[in-house]
Amino acid sequence: MIVWVSGASSGLGLHTACQLTQAGMTVVAGARSYREKEGEAENGYRLYLDVRDEASMDRFVKQALSLYGPPDVLCCCAGVLVLGACEDYSAAELRDVMETNFYGQALMIKRALPLMRANGGGKIVLFSSVNGLLAVPYQGAYTASKHAVEGFAEALRMETSPFGISVCVVEPGDHRSGSAKYRRHAATDDPANPYYEDYQKTVARIDHDETNGSDPDVLGRKIARALNRKRLPARLLIASPDQKLAVLLHRLLPKKLFARIMTQYYGKRLK
């Protein structure tokens, strides 16, 4: 099975690519950081890929095809998080989040679909998040991008099913994936900002939950098992029991009550 993985140099993308390789799949791992590091590695054959740049995507596709032929699977893991109040995001920050988390997935899929149709079928895995199902304070841009992924995937699934192409949305909760290393902050991270005190408490909670989150290798193995099925599940929620409960409560509770619960959880100072 030939798998193309974007965002394969860090975080959940790296762990997913490594686990797919260990499961015996032929992985072509794409990432921006591979510009000077192309070649065989523990997470597959590394190629430079910037999902915000269509010329880079075209180059990746051409090189991947020359290496192994058309993909059986496209796994879109590339993502970026900018923390901040909705009011404080710059236009550049909003564009970067959407271009990486949503447009990057959509445009890689655009390039893979003709190859899969010609090959008689395929599988597409889009990375959403628990934030694709509910919002977290100070993650408004990220949440918006993941909600966009959810809606796009739903339409994509209906359109591509007649061609033997199945679509799965992976919805990870908090995982120990080293994402804090790459985290960026908007203008909210300033003592003079009116949101600053509440923001600091929320960021501390986010850091705590990720540090104590689930094993990212387990996520990678679950994706590998899903890919070995004849057809992918429509959704793969990979989260802790309390986060799964939060998703359920978001569906069932009045929105104002759920928002109050979330605000209290993220706004409470850690001891």
Per-residue tokens: 48: 């430079």
Residue 178 has pLDDT above 70, yes or no: no
- Count of Cβ atoms closer than 10 Å to residue 29 Cβ: 31
Average pLDDT over residues 19-24: 98
Is 10 annotated in the active site? no
Is 142 annotated in the active site? yes
Q: Looking at residue 136, what DSSP letter applies?
A: -
User: 45, 142, 195, 266: which is the annotated catalytic residue?
Assistant: 142
User: 9, 166, 177, 179: which is the annotated catalytic residue?
Assistant: 9
User: 45, 138, 146, 199: which is the annotated catalytic residue?
Assistant: 146
Q: Looking at residue 126, what DSSP letter applies?
A: E
Q: Which residues contact 234 (CB under 8 A, 6 or more apart)?
A: 157, 167, 168, 169
- Mean pLDDT over the full length of the chain: 95
Residue 84 has pLDDT above 60, yes or no: yes
Per-residue tokens: 109: 């899929």
CA pair distance 129, 120, nearest whole angstrom: 30
All structural domains of the chain, each given as residue ranges with its CATH number in brackets, are 2-267 (3.40.50.720)
> What's the confidence (pLDDT) of residue 180?
59
Average pLDDT over residues 256-270: 91
For the residues of 37-102, what is the DSSP string, one character each? --EEETTEEEEE--TT-HHHHHHHHHHHHHHH-S-SEEEE-----EEB-GGG--HHHHHHHHIIII
Percent of the chain with pLDDT over 90: 93
Query: Could you tell me the pLDDT band of residue 85, with boundaries at 50, 70 and 90?
Result: very high
User: 10, 128, 166, 179: which is the annotated catalytic residue?
Assistant: 128
Of 3-7, 106-110, 111-115, 183-187, the range with the lowest mean pLDDT is 183-187
Residue 251 has pLDDT above 90, yes or no: yes
The model carries a pTM of: 0.94
Phi/psi at 253 (nearest 5 deg)? -80, 155
Is 145 annotated in the active site? no
Longest dimension (CA), the chain: 58
Is 161 annotated in the active site? no
Per-residue tokens: 134: 């509910």
pLDDT tens digits along 201-230: 999 999 999 999 999 999 999 999 999 998
Helices (H) and strands (E) in the chain, counts: 9, 10
Residue 183 has pLDDT above 90, yes or no: no
> What's the confidence (pLDDT) of residue 267?
86
Q: Confirm if 71 and 116 have CB atoms less than 8 A apart.
A: yes
